[in-house]
Amino acid sequence: MAAIEKDFKRSVVYQIYIKSFCDSDGDGIGDLPGITSKLDYLAHLGVDYLWITPFFPSPQADGGYDISDYCAIDPVYGTMDDFDELVREAHARDLGVMLDMVLCHTSSKHAWFQRALAGDERYRRYYILRDGRGSTGAGDPGEPPTNWQCAFGGSAWEWEPRLGKWYLHMHDVSQPDLDWTNPEVRAACADVVRFWRERGVDGFRFDVVSLISKPEVFEDTPDGSCRSLVADGPHVHEYLRELVAASGIDGMLTVGEMAATTLENCILYTTPERHELTQTFSFHHLKVDYADGDKWKLMEPDIARLREILRSWQEGMQAGGGWNALFWDNHDQPRAITRFGGREGAGERGGSWERVGRMLATCSFTLQGTPYIFQGDELGMTNAGYPSIDCFADVESTNNYRILMEGGATAEEALHVVNERSRDNGRTPMQWTSGPHAGFTTGTPWLAVPENHVFVNAEAEVGVAGSLFEFYRELVRLRHELPVLAEGAVRFLDAGTQAPKVIAFERTLGDARLVTVCSFDSEPSRATGLDVDGARYLLGSYDDAPVPGADGALELRPYEAAVFLS
């Protein structure tokens, strides 16, 4: 099947977490036919590409990101015929299909690792194996080779007697890291990407791809955190160029998830003439509510820091010729509406839920880069607010609940933190209707549906004037139709001392000038120096434009966003 080709600068990508999108057979787990059944909904929203999270065979230790076979379909999600039908039907609606490639690590159940365990030297070289510190010889593990901690808590090293070595796993213990210094590994990964490209796939998202090239020397770090040491490693750009060329995907929409990356490297990843990726996800802007940089320590979002991160990445990528992927939510994040203040009036017009939802969407869609919608963003889905730790499925969440309790937190305190931070907040079933299980399944959902689905759902919003869904449709339309949004230069603006939680910027192209102002403040504020006199109000988080002051200032209401075009 011929690939869909679109200008990624004018495109909008919709992320589908397949396990939670739509269940077609009543087993409580979303599947490929479920996605196909909702293609008209997605086409109506107006998006260009569908990024689908992994549906490959997997033990599901990490939500499908622990893959045991890269070139097959897990039966719980359907068949290869189901996949082919999905691609055909998506293409018939001018929707491109993107797949999630997890090439930093495999599942420990993958045939490669199983062959390594069986003693096959060829496949032992597929993984990163080390002797322990202080080992006295064969059979004695000693201590882990370094003090590195994995992403989900605990050591990043696991002793495996059948290997007689420690193996590195930067994520779950069941996810051994691949050794990309081995040319056979790189060739095998290119074969995987090529396999799916030849089945009609139109683009790829590469999971934690900034971590594939490990440092030349493995050494302890002061706090055991190894991501900053491993990220953007010595050969990562070389490996990516080789992967793109060998798999034949140069020119396709490709996005890399860049853990602990730098601006300078993301410019290199996405500069077109380097033939690596078209765009990158970076996460610094989603850490502005981490106290002391710790995800599991809560604080109110630092909007001044958020503004500076957005400014430096927007203007920096522009100066270097790079390109950003724009997002607030994904399957690894709590819901942005909740974390940035939209905790009241879910499903109702006029409350903080709606204002924050519109404001965040406005900000994302008018920055320079390619906007991504995570399933449910367009409906205003929120954090789940589960009553018990038993409701959670995510390994990171349950591990950190235990760690918090061991550190002295009460059960109530630990549950509150997990409810705020859990990845399960982004993985709750898609809210299609107000009926049982939000219309996601006729069976029992694998993860509990938030109670507010009776107010926040597609049935209540599609085609309803003023709904959040229709607001997203309008943003997608503007992204397609306004050249200044696709091609325009970006420059951040100073909104003055009376607007400490306001983020403002302009996009310019030729004679066109678009100004966006977004207040992250729960209180009124006053933005000055934006020079929007005479400009046309396009849209915002309220139904009318902000009131102009006598001196040209904008009197902004709580969580107000406004876009002006001249």
Is residue 191 within 8 Å of 221, Cβ to Cβ? no
- Position 537 scores a pLDDT of 97
Least Cα distance to 337 among 403, 425, 406 occurs for: 425
Catalytic residue among 31, 74, 160, 207: 207
Q: How confident is the model at residue 3 (pLDDT cuts 50, 70, 90)?
A: confident
Looking at the chain, how many residues does it have?
Answer: 566
- φ, ψ for residue 285 (rounded to 5)? -70, -15
Residue 172 annotated in active site: no
> In this predicted structure, what is the pLDDT of residue 549?
77
pLDDT (tens digit, 9 = 90+) per residue, 308-359?
999 999 999 999 999 999 999 999 999 999 999 999 999 999 999 999 999 9
**Token pair 């032992």 in the structure block, residue:** 124
Q: What is the pLDDT of residues 192-237, one digit of tens each?
A: 999 999 999 999 999 999 999 999 999 999 999 998 899 999 999 9
Q: Give the whole-angstrom CA distance, residue 276 versus residue 368.
A: 20
**CA atoms of 88 and 95, how far apart (whole Å):** 10
The pairing of beta strand 325-326 with beta strand 370-374: parallel
Alpha-carbon distance of 287 to 293, in angstroms, equals 7
Q: Which strand ranges, in their side-by-side order, compose the sheet holding 165-168?
A: 129-130, 165-168, 157-160
Assess whether 511 carries a catalytic annotation: no
What was the pLDDT predicted at 1? Answer: 64
Average per-residue pLDDT for the chain: 97
Backbone torsions φ then ψ of 254, nearest 5 degrees: -135, 135
Quick one: how far is CA 319 from the chain centroid? 24
What predicted TM-score, i.e. pTM, was given to this entire model? 0.97
Whether residue 188 is predicted with pLDDT greater than 80 in this model: the reply is yes
b/e code 347-356 from CB counts within 10 Å (16+ = b): beeebbbbbb
**For position 244, what pLDDT does the model report?**
98
The pLDDT tens digits of the residues spanning 398-419 come to 999 999 999 999 999 999 999 9
111-135: pLDDT as tens digits: 999 999 999 999 999 999 999 999 9
Longest dimension (CA), the chain: 81
What are the structure tokens assigned to 479, written together?
């992204």
Choosing from 31, 172, 232, 257, the catalytic residue is 257
Per-residue pLDDT, averaged over 30-57, amounts to 98
Contact between 357 and 520 (Cβ < 8 Å): no
- Predicted confidence (pLDDT) per residue in 51-92, tens digit: 999 999 999 999 999 999 999 999 999 999 999 999 999 999
